[in-house]
Chains A and B, each alone.
Chain A
Amino acid sequence: MLNFRSPETTPLVRLNNAGVSRNGRWLVRGVEFSISPGEIVTLIGPNGSGKSTTAKTAIGVMKADEGYVERKPGLKVGYVPQKLAVDWTLPLTVERLMTLTGPLKGREIEEALSSTGVLHLAKAEVQHLSGGEFQRALLARAIARKPDLLVLDEPVQGVDFSGEIALYELIKQIRNRTGCGILLISHDLHIVMAETDTVVCLNGHVCCRGTPQAVSQSPEYQKLFGRRAASTLAVYSHNHDHTHLPDGRVLHADGSITEHCYPGDGHHHDEDDNVHDHGDDCGCGHHSRLHGFELKEKRDA
């Protein structure tokens, strides 16, 4: 819906009311979004909100128990999982890691490694890398495949702030150069990559979605983040019409309480009307970090 890029191209992946349940519990439900070539979609949400599950469902590692997922036939995915521990008994250099799921030419390996800045570590064993170096190696591996869709599950974990900015800039360059679609999972509820086309906020279902607000023009943010960061990062303003209670039930804006929460239960406002009616009374806790940074340009209902 908020896809500014040529909407007529067929999406790489489209989730239609997708839900995944394990042991009788819905991990995530009623998820709808699509990713087109060149589009960046960022998933955010608290721990256990189903971000990784949603990403895995999108690429077919997990099967949707409800709804369905459409993928472009022959879709080539590059995946950076959230956790990856290589047993130390496995002698694996960065160079060898690159061809883990498919053959590559030596030149392609070098290009990918130098674009993520870890070419000097090509001969190092992956077990000896720091968290940030390993993330860069994994990212290099995923992009070296020249995928149609790049799925990055918290790619900036273990990376310091300036490294995070650099990685986001790199991801942007990859998108601009290759035109691949990118599904990004962010550990931060408010700060997302500025280039993000669509932010999807999950908490067992889609709580809200929208576009991030560029902060590069705002002097406050420039002071807070620094000039370079402010052009790379953006703030996402949540737009919730309900609150998740501690016992798992859901309090809706109309005062009603339901056991579960998913679109179509009649309690949600139309997701296409773009009402940004968030505020401290939302009570979801998402906004506390940004006190004083509320953006002025709230849209009118």
Chain B
Amino acid sequence: MLDDFFVRALIAGIGIAVMAGPLGCFVIWRRMAYFGDTMAHSALLGVALSLLLDLNLMVAVFIVAAAVSLLLLFLQRRGALSTDALLGILSHSALSIGLVIVAFMTWVRIDLVGFLFGDILAVSESDIDIIWGGGILVIFAIVYLWRPLLASTVNPELAEAEGMRPERARLFFMLLMALVIAIAMKIVGILLITSLLIIPAATARRFSTSPEIMAVLASVIGALAVTGGLFGSLHWDTPSGPSIVVAALALFVLSLLPIGRRRLETASHSTPGGHH
């Protein structure tokens, strides 16, 4: 039952889950879920450009996702529209431009569904090298940037006052997001990448007493979701991306059950720190 392609998908998927864990925590803490979505949607523009200009797929997606996040930073600085509206504009226009370009290129046939929802058959051995190479890079970068990233998540001005550089941390964080999106696209699919970032991290919250524990737990839970999802995908012949998301959701729902956790009372006590 464990065909070569399946083992490859499993190794690739677990690699992605491991790097998505800590990044996903920051996405939640910084309330950047929609931002992640926008970057992910712009990946399709990257796919289209890679076909049009004959570039490496992951490189093209990384460049476009990074460019979109920089564009957003620039537009935010100008302050003409709210971040919400800007994200809506960027997200769907990037996705649509990508789709339109693909439609014009009648000479290429691409598996659009595979790009949007993930395709476990698409993972090659060189993809695994890239995923684990990139994954190790992402993990090292996060460990290295952990303190400034966390401090500027809590309060950027405090971080800067005490000798850190929150703007630089934020820039690196965006580049890491772009990298993860480029790497994860094949397995999870463009439309569902953010869920692999968010759902495991949200599941981990209930069992975590420190940011570090939450980051590690999110990786573990993500790896479980990938494993479960891929087995389901193989068994029922469903697209890999949605299967992984369903598995992640199942774990999240399980975490909501009051299985002797006092922590539930803590977590459901959702008073934000606003009154401070």
Contacts and interface: CB of A to CB of B under 8 A. Distances in A.
Contact of A127 (B157, B160, B273): B273
A60 B153 contact: no
Nearest to B268: A88
Contacts of A129: 276
A246 B226 CA distance: 63
A79 interface: yes
B28 A89 contact: yes
Nearest to B155: A84
A206 interface: no
Contacts of A79: 157-158, 161-162
B188 to A, nearest CB: 22
Contacts of B154: 84, 86, 90, 92, 97, 100
Interface of A: 56, 59-61, 76-79, 81, 83-93, 96-97, 100-102, 125-129, 131, 134-135, 145, 151, 158
A100 B151 contact: yes
A131 B269 contact: no
19 contacts: A56-B157, A79-B158, A81-B158, A81-B161, A86-B276, A87-B28, A87-B273, A88-B273, A89-B202, A90-B29, A90-B154, A91-B210, A93-B209, A100-B151, A101-B151, A126-B273, A127-B272, A128-B269, A145-B162
A129 B269 CA distance: 12
Contacts of B270: 88
B182 interface: no
Given A89-B29, A100-B151, A125-B266, A59 B161 contact: yes
A46 to B, nearest CB: 22
Contact of A131 (B30, B160, B275): B275
B258 interface: no
Given A91-B213, A96-B211, A101 B276 contact: no
Contacts of B214: 91
Contacts, number: 103
Contacts of B276: 83-86, 129, 131, 134-135, 158
Interface of B: 28-31, 147, 150-151, 153-155, 157-164, 202, 205, 208-211, 213-214, 266-267, 269-276
B266 A61 contact: no
Nearest to A59: B161
Contacts of B159: 101
B161 A60 contact: yes
A56 B266 CA distance: 35
Contacts of A83: 276
Nearest to A77: B161
Contacts of A96: 210-211
Given A81-B155, A101-B164, 19 more contacts: A61-B160, A84-B276, A88-B271, A89-B29, A89-B205, A90-B154, A91-B205, A91-B210, A93-B210, A97-B154, A100-B151, A101-B159, A102-B162, A125-B266, A127-B272, A127-B273, A128-B271, A135-B276, A158-B275
Q: Give the 9 A-B residue pairs with the shortest CB-CB distance, closest first.
A: A79-B161, A101-B162, A85-B273, A86-B273, A91-B208, A90-B29, A134-B276, A59-B161, A89-B28
Contacts of A60: 160-161
Nearest to B160: A61
Contacts of B267: 88
Contacts of B266: 125, 128
A97 B276 CA distance: 15
B206 to A, nearest CB: 9
A85 B272 contact: yes
Contacts of B160: 60-61
Nearest to B269: A128
Contacts of A131: 275-276
Nearest to A84: B155
A135 B160 CA distance: 19
Contacts of B213: 91
A101 B273 contact: no
A76 B163 CA distance: 8
Contact of A90 (B158, B161, B211, B269): B211
A131 B213 CA distance: 27
Contacts of A81: 155, 157-158, 161
